[in-house]
Amino acid sequence: MSYSDAKRVYASFGVDTDKALDKLKSVSVSLHCWQGDDVRGFDTDPNKPLTGGIQTTGNYPGRARTPEELMADIDEVLKLVPGKIKMNLHASYAIFDGENPWVDRDKLEPKHFKKWVDFCKERGLGCDFNPTFFSHPKCDPLTLSSPNEETRKFWIEHGKASIRISQYLAEELGQPCVMNIWTGDGFKDIPADRMGPRIRYKEAIDEILSEPYDFKLVKPTIESKVFGIGVEAYTVGSAEFALSYAAMNIDKCIPLMDNGHYHPTEVVSDKIPALLAFFPEIALHVTRPIRWDSDHVVLFDDETKEICREIVRCGGLDGKVNIALDYFDASINRISAWVTGVRNVQKSLLFALLQPNDELKKMQDNSDFTQLMVVQEELKTAPFYDVWQEFLSRENKPSEYFAEVKRYEQEVLSLR
Ligand code: RNT
Ligand code: ZN
């Protein structure tokens, strides 16, 4: 089938494929730098274990070891993904050199991200940011919720430094910077005090957000989690904690949902309209949970499609939903992991944009559930492939990317 045939099929369902393609082009997806080096960063010993309840597994050759290697790998990804991309950095990816020697996380400054700003400017990208509250000797193991004054102070200073860096990124790049606060604070076993750490966490975030910033440019987000590896019994920043914090501070921050951070039968797709009934803006980490792991490569699967359908149906593409990727797989080619995940989010968004959403809503409101089921099922086998191929060709991106991934692996990654 060709694009024009596919266009006709979708038109018979009342869908304009050209309109869908135009919309998809404008949606920005935030690309997580940490897929390229298994979340190691450049500011601490790269051979230390990851802490904070997250883990990468696998030892596929070719991980990026320096800023130069990571940037080269991101360029390779940008060659292979269509659509609008934004960078997403963690503070641990600060770049130190002779002029700007190493400083600890509480002393980070915008200048440590100047090379990233240059990288983004040259490629016309915006940039999101994350303070890094894990994999560091000052995790005791708690950070913002630690009972130790000195530990807490260190991490609060890191949070404030991150606000200043986020403001710098937004100003330099002319696009808002989403700054995500996530800590892996929690306990392996049944705690004696669940309230104390949460009060300290709340007060610590208050202090971080007391650092001046323009809320139109810097969008602090609060990410919740259900449990992590080694912190199975209790997570300080639980769903209720994070959501309540965001709800009580609606003029200062927004909630972030990572779809790997809930109980297995809970779905973020259903939570999107629930939150948008109250919050003008939300943020997402799109990932794929499997059993105990929340960070597998995003696939073109039912829940990713459903998440994107809710984003589209709730008007999320008009500035209400900030979409970021968050996964890390060290067991396969990392470029491929990145590209596959980005493309699958975009495919899911396109799939959602190719639904006759107004018609489907009408069927629901008229209690015409029989037709609703039939039409939704018929649409699953509509010629989606041809519309996706059209998007790639309009964006001048190759349809097939595995051969190029393999070439880069042979010529670049395997030499590391
Ligand atoms: C961890 C959280 C968090 C991290 C990144 C690296 O479970 O999802 O967002 O993955 O900050
Ligand atoms: Zn996340």
Over residues 384-398, the pLDDT tens digits come to 999 999 999 999 999
d(CA 113, CA 392): 32
pLDDT above 90: residue 292: no
pLDDT above 90: residue 53: no
Which one of the listed residues 37, 73, 76, 293 is annotated catalytic? 293
Site residues for ligand 1, CB cut-off 6 Å: 34, 39, 54, 130, 182, 223, 225, 258, 285, 294, 326
Position 176 confidence tier, pLDDT thresholds 50, 70, 90: very high
Q: Percent of the chain beyond pLDDT 70?
A: 100
pLDDT at 46: 85
Which one of the listed residues 261, 271, 305, 347 is annotated catalytic? 261
Q: Percent of the chain beyond pLDDT 90?
A: 96
Residue 178's SS3 state is strand
> What are the strands, taking DSSP E only, across 82-155?
84-90, 127-130
pLDDT at 47: 86
Over residues 88-121, the pLDDT tens digits come to 999 999 999 999 999 999 999 999 999 999 999 9
Provide the 10 A C-beta neighbour count for residue 411. 9
- Please tell me the number of the ligand nearest to residue 32's CA: 1
Over residues 306-332, the pLDDT tens digits come to 999 999 999 999 999 999 999 999 999
Provide the 10 A C-beta neighbour count for residue 413. 22
48 is catalytic: no
Lowest mean pLDDT segment, chosen from 46-60, 64-78, 208-222, 299-313: 46-60
Q: How far away, in angstroms, is 181 Cα from ligand 2 center?
A: 10
Q: What is the mean pLDDT of the segment spanning 242-247?
A: 98
pLDDT at 49: 84
177-181/186-187 β-pairing = unpaired
Burial of 106 (0-12, 13-18, 19+ CB in 10 A): middle
- Average pLDDT taken over every residue of the chain: 97
Position 39 confidence tier, pLDDT thresholds 50, 70, 90: very high
Reference 260, options 283, 237, 282, 227; nearest CA is 227
Contact 182, 231 (CB under 8 A): no
What is the pTM assigned to this prediction? 0.97
